[in-house]
Structure 1
Amino acid sequence: MSAPSLADTSAQPLRHSVGWVYGVLLCVLLAWLAGILAQQSAMQKAGISVLPLAIVLGMIIGNLAPAPLRLVDAGIQFAKGRCLRLGIILFGFHLTWFELLAVGVGGLALAVTMLSMAFLVTVYVGTRYLGMERDTCILIGAGSAICGAAAVLATEPVVKGRSDQVAVAVATVVLFGTLAMFVYPALYPYLGLSEVAYGRYAGATIHEVAQVVVAGAAVGQAALHAAVIEKMLRVLLLAPFLLLLSAYLLRRPDSAAASQDAKRLVIPWFALGFVAMAGVNSLAWLPEPAVAGILKLDAFLLAMAMTALGLSTRLRDVLRAGWRPLLLAAMTALMLLGVGYVLTRWWVA
């Protein structure tokens, strides 16, 4: 075999740069399209946010594209990595410390307990009784316990999960979070909870932020306000969760994270940036239009990351996962529904 010519060698960086540009532009285009679809009244009524729409569009293009996407893979990987981490950091502008302090001990205990229980039980049952891959269980548990698709995306760099594992986790948490969005308001007349208690219950147990908003608004403004604050508290717990998970995986020699960083703790710096931005938002240094612009940028960056995830996911790999992820996610959703209600009656109502 002859050695590559000088012209071929010099052309490789150029092809990489062109592929990076076109890959990023493809993610930008699909994220923009997902944003337009998410603004349609039918999507808003259904509580379907831009993130699941972005991954669906990415999967459609990625699986049907006539040309091989490896030509633009550099840009796709950039969106999956750098755009994702920056999006998680800016996600902190959804929070203020002062609002979270109003939750009280009962609300904090409810959020921490439900997060811990949902995650640990999901991972245990999935690996022990369903024979699933641990990384898939971790991603499903994180999405169910914290904040849906955004939590799955934030957890992926820590566990070094495959694209098909992330896609399966996102699909399951979106499905059962969407069902919860309609089930909770239907059950409200029979729960014996005040609007505020119901809001705390919904915020502590429903997956996605958008789904919590719909479920709370369906009952009343007091329920909506309490639900959003409780949900934001769960979102804030994302940072310590990722730090603890990283430390745990370091001790597991069979994990991808441990094998790649065997000698040191992998600190998810973007999680610390997330907490820092929540602190900046609490100080109210920035005018409201600036914060609104940051939130729009954040939504777009996360949509780009989800699009890139969809583009790099093969549908056959998702289907190969079978019924076990659905069963596991359904079990977690039922546990959140039942145990969350009992704890709400005990600590909040």
Structure 2
Amino acid sequence: MTERALKLPKPFLTGLNELVPGLMLCVVIAAAASFVSAQYGGPTFLYALLIGISFHFLSDNPKCLPGIEVSAKKLVRVGVALLGVRIAISDVHAIGALGVTALAGAVVLTIGFSLMLAKLLRLPSMLGILSGGATGICGISAAMAISSTLPQKRENEHYTLLTAIGVAAFSTIAMVLYPLVVTVLELSRSEAGLFLGGSIHDVAQVVGAGFMISPEVGDSATLAKMFRVAMLMPVVVVFAFWFRSARQASGNDEAGKQPLVPFFLLVFIGLVVVNSLGWIPPVAVEMSSDISKWCLVISIAALGVKTSFEKLSELGWKPIALLMGNALFIAAYMLVVVYLGRMIF
């Protein structure tokens, strides 16, 4: 093969060079957040957000901006698509009819409650959707996935960042406090798993809370949580259809070119189906999960770089009240479900 044949097109190289500074910045922040989390504990996503915010001064740097934008808007779609390898349709059968109904209801009702509370607090409905979806489904991953279906406006980026920070904080608090609730209320293994898996926001915190009690509760809680993660697919499809016209009208959606169902969502669905058929080897599942996590951590780091605490403070106390209200609502709902299940069975 000749040297000329190996030569890459100049526009491609130019575009790649423009992305490298900002992309490498976000990768380094993600690596630092992962190191701190591994050494000292705590949620990687939250560290990535906070470290990213400390580098906000680079968000307006013309050399870094293209890579930061790609990290914030494109890598999240890769990360969400690869979440499909962690879900199998057969997992639903192990939860039972009551569990499936309760967990699906938790997602729908939390989003509905969040929209209602946002209206009462006179907050934008977009913030209500993001915080409700993040609380009801799977934390920051859900916030990022839902955000990708919304009109790409600066306000929505602020709402996404605020939701991510709040969800990470409340999820960590829940990981510490909810095992105490389980102990005080003397919940059984299955009840504890349903409560923890149905009320804590992020997967990592669900696993941590469950295994604080026992390996059996940890497994039960993880299974319940993965069903909530599976609800990400239909919820994002609904919002993709709902906001399609708004995305096109915003002028940031390459009007007319955006497919009815985003490609990353089709990949997500395909991976769920393939994984359910048992065609993905465990090594590939683990590798894809790791890649998904890295893409999401890099994306949230980029989102942190793009926004400052000064801008967040302008939003006031109401968004915090919204996030706290959502957290309390889903926890109370799951406790009601647990006690209703105890009465029925």
Q: 1:14 offset after TM fit, Å?
A: 7.8
Instruction: Determine the C-alpha separation between the residues in 2 that align with 1:198 and 1:345.
Output: 11
Q: Which moved more, 1:97-106 or 1:11-20?
A: 11-20
User: Do the aligned partners of residues 131 and 57 (structure 1) sit closer, same or farther apart at CA in structure 2, a change above 3 Å counting?
Assistant: same
The residue aligned with 1:88 is: 80
- What secondary structure is seen at the aligned counterpart in 1 of 2:64? helix
Q: Which moved more, 1:109-118 or 1:242-251?
A: 242-251
Q: 1:280 offset after TM fit, Å?
A: 2.1
The residue aligned with 2:339 is: 345
Q: 1:327 offset after TM fit, Å?
A: 0.5
| Contact 2:86/2:285, CA 8 A, preserved across alignment | no
Instruction: Determine the C-alpha separation between the residues in 1 that align with 2:11 and 2:281.
Output: 46
- One-letter code aligned to 1:152: A
Q: Deviations over 1:93-118 (max 9, x none)?
A: 22222223211111111111111111
Q: Match for 1:156 among 137, 140, 147?
A: 147
| Contact 2:43/2:168, CA 8 A, preserved across alignment | no
- What secondary structure is seen at the aligned counterpart in 2 of 1:285? coil
Instruction: Determine the C-alpha separation between the residues in 2 that align with 1:257 and 1:119.
Output: 24
User: Do the aligned partners of residues 94 and 13 (structure 1) sit closer, same or farther apart at CA in structure 2, a change above 3 Å counting?
Assistant: closer
Q: Does 1:210 align with 2:204?
A: yes
The residue aligned with 1:35 is: 34
Instruction: Determine the C-alpha separation between the residues in 2 that align with 1:17 and 1:273.
Output: 25
Q: TM-score, length-normalised on structure 2?
A: 0.87
Unaligned runs of 5+ in 1: 1-10
| Contact 1:236/1:275, CA 8 A, preserved across alignment | no
The residue aligned with 1:299 is: 293
User: Do the aligned partners of residues 276 and 13 (structure 1) sit closer, same or farther apart at CA in structure 2, a change above 3 Å counting?
Assistant: closer
- One-letter code aligned to 2:137: I
Instruction: Determine the C-alpha separation between the residues in 1 that align with 2:105 and 2:279.
Output: 33
Q: Deviations over 1:41-93 (max 9, x none)?
A: x31xxxx3322221221111124x4x843322111111122211111111112
| Contact 1:38/1:53, CA 8 A, preserved across alignment | yes
Instruction: Determine the C-alpha separation between the residues in 1 that align with 2:249 and 2:198.
Output: 31
| Contact 1:30/1:58, CA 8 A, preserved across alignment | yes
Q: 1:258 offset after TM fit, Å?
A: 5.6
The residue aligned with 1:125 is: 117
Equivalent residues in 2 for 1:285-296, closer than 5 Å? 285-296=279-290
- One-letter code aligned to 2:317: W
Q: Deviations over 1:181-225 (max 9, x none)?
A: 112111112324211111011111110101111111112122111
Q: 1:119 offset after TM fit, Å?
A: 0.7
Instruction: Determine the C-alpha separation between the residues in 1 that align with 2:26 and 2:287.
Output: 20
The residue aligned with 1:140 is: 131
| Contact 2:51/2:304, CA 8 A, preserved across alignment | yes
The residue aligned with 2:7 is: none
Instruction: Determine the C-alpha separation between the residues in 1 that align with 2:135 and 2:190.
Output: 22
The residue aligned with 1:103 is: 95
Instruction: Determine the C-alpha separation between the residues in 2 that align with 1:87 and 1:158.
Output: 15
Q: 1:265 offset after TM fit, Å?
A: 7.5
Q: Does 1:278 align with 2:272?
A: yes
Instruction: Determine the C-alpha separation between the residues in 2 that align with 1:15 and 1:288.
Output: 38
Q: 1:13 offset after TM fit, Å?
A: 9.2
The residue aligned with 1:70 is: 62
Q: Match for 2:52 among 35, 54, 58?
A: 58
User: Do the aligned partners of residues 246 and 288 (structure 1) sit closer, same or farther apart at CA in structure 2, a change above 3 Å counting?
Assistant: closer
User: Do the aligned partners of residues 14 and 103 (structure 1) sit closer, same or farther apart at CA in structure 2, a change above 3 Å counting?
Assistant: closer
Q: 1:121 offset after TM fit, Å?
A: 0.7
Q: 1:257 offset after TM fit, Å?
A: 6.0
The residue aligned with 1:249 is: 243
User: Do the aligned partners of residues 13 and 299 (structure 1) sit closer, same or farther apart at CA in structure 2, a change above 3 Å counting?
Assistant: closer
Instruction: Determine the C-alpha separation between the residues in 2 that align with 1:35 and 1:250.
Output: 35
Q: Deviations over 1:23-51 (max 9, x none)?
A: 111122211222212212x31xxxx3322
Q: TM-score, length-normalised on structure 1?
A: 0.86
- One-letter code aligned to 2:310: R
Q: 1:15 offset after TM fit, Å?
A: 6.9
Instruction: Determine the C-alpha separation between the residues in 1 that align with 2:162 and 2:285.
Output: 32
Instruction: Determine the C-alpha separation between the residues in 2 that align with 1:159 and 1:124.
Output: 19
| Contact 2:43/2:172, CA 8 A, preserved across alignment | no
Instruction: Determine the C-alpha separation between the residues in 1 that align with 2:13 and 2:208.
Output: 48
Instruction: Determine the C-alpha separation between the residues in 2 that align with 1:158 and 1:325.
Output: 21
Instruction: Determine the C-alpha separation between the residues in 2 that align with 1:163 and 1:315.
Output: 13
User: Do the aligned partners of residues 68 and 181 (structure 1) sit closer, same or farther apart at CA in structure 2, a change above 3 Å counting?
Assistant: same
Instruction: Determine the C-alpha separation between the residues in 1 that align with 2:30 and 2:123.
Output: 31
